[in-house]
Chain A
Amino acid sequence: MADSAAVTRVLFEDFTPSTVRLFYVIGYSAIAAFLYGVYVQVRKYRRGVPAGMPLNLLPRLESMLVSLLNHRMIRRRDHAAGEAHRLIFYGFVLLFLGTATITLDYDILGPLFGVHFWHGEFYLWFSLVLDIAGLMLAGGLLYMMYRRGWLKPPKLDYARPDRAPSDPDYDRSGYRREDWAFLWTLLTIAATGYVLEALRLVWLASRPEVWDTRWWSPVGAALAQAFRALGMSEAGAGEWRRNLWWFHGLLALLFIALIPYTKVKHIFTAAGSLMFRDPQAAQRLPREKPDAPRPGSQYITDFTWKQLLSLDACTKCGRCHEACPARAVGAPLSPRDVILSLREFANRTLASPALPAQAELDVHGKGPGQVAMETLWSCRTCMACVEVCPVAIEHVPIIVQLRRKLVEDGDMDPQLRKTLQTIHKTGNSFGESKRKRAAWTKTLGFPVKDARKEPVDVLWFVGDYASFDPRNQKVTAGFATLLRDAGVDFGILYDGESNAGNDVRRVGEEGLYEVLAEANIGALSGASFNSIVTTDPHSYNTIRNEYPDFGGSYRIEHYTTLLLELMQQGSLAVRHKLNLRVTFHDPCHLGRFNKGYEAPRDILKILGCELIEMGRCRSNSFCCGAGGGRIWIPDPVGADKPAQNRMREAAAIEGLQVFVVSCPKDLTMFEDALKTSGLEGRFVVRELIELVREAA
């Protein structure tokens, strides 16, 4: 082999000093444009309010790097696109590191210390790795082009369900053009890189240290062979190379310069968003700051810097759009569009040197970039969007904070307004007297302890629906009987219990939520118990995740966990197996919110049921439509409802006998939807408690 120092890539050979200088001027200009763009973006984010969370930079950096490197989030529910992105990502990272290596050798270590390492064996491995990286990049890009151009998944259609086709914001063809420009630019850079490599090989074919080592750049070498076979001369290759070198270099520098101004910035913003993710974003909503000038988010400057950063992280991938139950039934909401609207709004108002007048910062309304009331009220806060977002955008707290402003102004459905007033007045959403909260116990035939008066082992927080809804009262009584039969020492708070507030908070009535949470924490602190159990996943979520912020930290279980424990201990016997073909609906607040996926399934197994999963199960469970206060807002007449959509999904299971739920609101929503979707008689909806009772 030739002298190691000679085995390298020529950089500026046969360039005049002035053209080299020109290249550096252009290069530094590109970097300057990049830095200025970054400055403008950072200035934009800094116009938000503090995020009010500990920074914990190191652990956050670590978890962000793990997410980036394993690509788990991007592969979810779109495996092929995830793998293609992984190829692009690793290809790009390697190529970037490659260029950085050259800079380190040629521009830093060489001039400063006279040290060069980019030659010899290292160089050869470097060429091979970069050639493979280029293939990965190009392969990923080609798949993405195939996907956009031929597969055309519906989620990549950016037409907005909440705007009329005549609206200028309706189809957003600008985004599509940008997507294609991004793909073509990167692909062109990669392709011209290979051609340049081939031309260099042909041009310098007379140098053994170049030509003999050519197969360390296999793609370039193959192309070079082809060029020579087509009769390209060494001089001709040199001439071609000079021109293409500038084209390739300028395009690459343009790409770098444009990063902060285009979708390419997701390289940084997505990483930033992932880094500052809040794993409890939807489960534990942010408190209102007592000194806040107004509730929630009215102006774009009311958003936290982290929220503004995450708006820029969105890559329009459409996973949230696909998962959203409101969007699925044609409601004017797509979580992606909320994010994109706000991003466009922030870019229009916060990117200029001076902040516009406050009136122009109002994000509520129907203008460009604004978010309409109807959109915000369509949300079920089911967390499907937050769960699936590969770049950790937290839609639910954003939507709830926008709703807080609507609630303050009374901009809500009259029925919802009435319900909130009723809850304030009576402590429950049924408008029933507090005294009647425990009326269901009268049918039991045995007394239920008043946990305010005597100590109990397990305090049962019953919740509104389980207490007052006549259909659910039967289940509630059934659960009481199961507890008694299993010998559990339990009690309830009677009229000391109020609505837990989970949904009131998600409506955006933070003040009322505080009243309810404080009332319940007050009642709980007056009782003596070891742990709490509830049949209501909504109460479960807020007591478990949100009451601690108000000074109430408790050990709380959803009933499925407790029942499973009792069954496994043998305290609760299964006398006859049920032999039913069932499917299970994961309640949002039990499953996605609190990862309670297994206990109900384990119980079904013990009961002898054959569980057939629906396509959308576990973390991809489909909301019943009741969350976020939507149970108090009438659905538009004639429109499809998420619960009906779910019933049709279940009906596709052959021989399905029982649709099993484990949430009082689910029971109400799905029994209703079974009738209205015309599927009554095909199967029945049952609470898991009812099945356990049947088997006992």
Chain B
Amino acid sequence: MKILVAVKQVAALDEDFEIRADGKDVEAEFLLRDLNEWDDFSLEEAMRIKEAATSPVEVVVVCVGPESADESIRKCLAKGADRAVRVWDDAIEGSDPIAIAQLIAAVAKRERPDLLFAGVQSSDHSFASTGIAAAALLDWPHAAVLTQLTYTPGARTARFRRELEGGLLHEMEIDCPAVLTIQLGINTPRYASLRAIKQAAAKPIEVLTLADLSVPPGAVGEGGSLSRVRRMYVPERGRAQMIEGSVEEQALQLAAIIREATGGAA
């Protein structure tokens, strides 16, 4: 029994960031890297199945990203994942989620897991499509936004629950192998101590190239993507103005501003 968990190293904005010269992304030095929050939950869900199982379960982490992503992968290994696969090639840079999904599907074909978990979305780009696209490419059934999951290793189906609008709960069953995207709050992710993270350095991270997966370079990157970023920017914000002075002065100023804004009607 095997569970493949797709994870992503996401970027968060540092203080006073700057937009890259080409206007399509934030300058890399202003980004703080970390594991996508949703992936903490999907890995935890896989670990719970592994730990509750009576037969051996292998949890394999897959990540598409450059070498710097190893830091986030190591956190997954520290939490108990058995091994990790990282896919990278410079040609992958600029891929859209569907192109990334191709690579994850290719790894899934090699690994032949019983379940493929992914987070509902990533916190930086929020496409919420990689996992689902991988299911389509694999031609596996899929379900999105799980808030509860029951699966016994070896079973042919998995049961899960989703939250619908209006407080409704949706309980479903799905045939395996399947792709499931996991929602925040489904469990309480464990803490990876620094000791465990250091020890995880001894666990293998297998690095695969496009050639290893038989994916042509043209299928990924900007060229292989069907959508492209045109521009990334911070919209003009409304201005706030502090009113200073004594209470009387402040009241007078405020009245003047209101008068101006309402065209003198007030």
Q: Which A residues form the contact surface with B (CB < 8 A)?
A: 288, 295, 407-410, 412, 414, 417, 420-421, 424-426, 432-433, 435-436, 509-512, 514-515
Contact = CB atoms under 8 A, between A and B. Distances in A.
21 contacts: A295-B193, A295-B195, A407-B193, A408-B193, A408-B196, A410-B191, A410-B193, A414-B188, A420-B191, A421-B191, A424-B194, A425-B32, A426-B32, A433-B16, A435-B14, A436-B15, A509-B194, A511-B195, A511-B196, A512-B193, A514-B194
A412 B195 contact: no
Contacts of B188: 414
B82 interface: no
B48 interface: no
A264 B196 CA distance: 44
Contact of B195 (A288, A421, A435): A288
A669 B191 CA distance: 28
B58 interface: no
Interface string B178-193: 0000000000101101
A510 B195 contact: yes
A425 B195 contact: no
B16 A511 contact: no
A425 B16 contact: no
Nearest to A410: B191
A509 B14 CA distance: 26
B197 A511 contact: yes
A417 B194 contact: no
Interface string B55-92: 00000000000000000000000000000000000000
Contacts of A407: 191, 193
B198 interface: yes
Nearest to B40: A421
Contact of A433 (B15, B190, B191, B193): B15
A509 B15 contact: no
Contacts of B16: 433, 435
Contacts of B193: 295, 407-408, 410, 509, 511-512
A414 B188 CA distance: 9
A639 to B, nearest CB: 24
Interface residues of B, number: 14
B202 to A, nearest CB: 13
B15 A432 contact: yes
B191 A435 contact: no
Nearest to B33: A425
Given A407-B191, A435-B15, A425 B196 contact: no
Interface of B: 14-16, 32, 34, 188, 190-191, 193-198
B200 to A, nearest CB: 11
A297 to B, nearest CB: 14
Interface residue SS majority, chain A: helix
A550 B125 CA distance: 41
A425 B197 contact: no
A51 B16 CA distance: 50
B37 to A, nearest CB: 11
Contact of A515 (B34, B194, B196): B194
Contact of B191 (A288, A412, A425, A515): A412
Contacts of A425: 32, 34
A511 B198 contact: yes
Contacts of A509: 193-194
Nearest to A504: B194
Contact of B194 (A412, A426, A512): A512
A534 B15 CA distance: 26
A150 B190 CA distance: 53
Contacts of A511: 193-198
Contact of A408 (B14, B32, B34, B195): B195
Contacts of A421: 191
Nearest to B191: A410
A424 B195 CA distance: 12
Nearest to B12: A425
Contacts of B34: 425
Nearest to A420: B191
A408 B198 CA distance: 12
A435 B15 CA distance: 7
A436 B190 CA distance: 30
Contacts of B197: 511
Nearest to A295: B195
Contacts of B190: 410
Nearest to A432: B15
A426 B34 CA distance: 11
Q: What 4 A-B pairs come out closest when comparing CB atoms? A: A511-B194, A410-B191, A433-B15, A511-B195
Contacts of A412: 191
A436 B197 CA distance: 27
A469 B193 CA distance: 27
Contacts of B198: 511
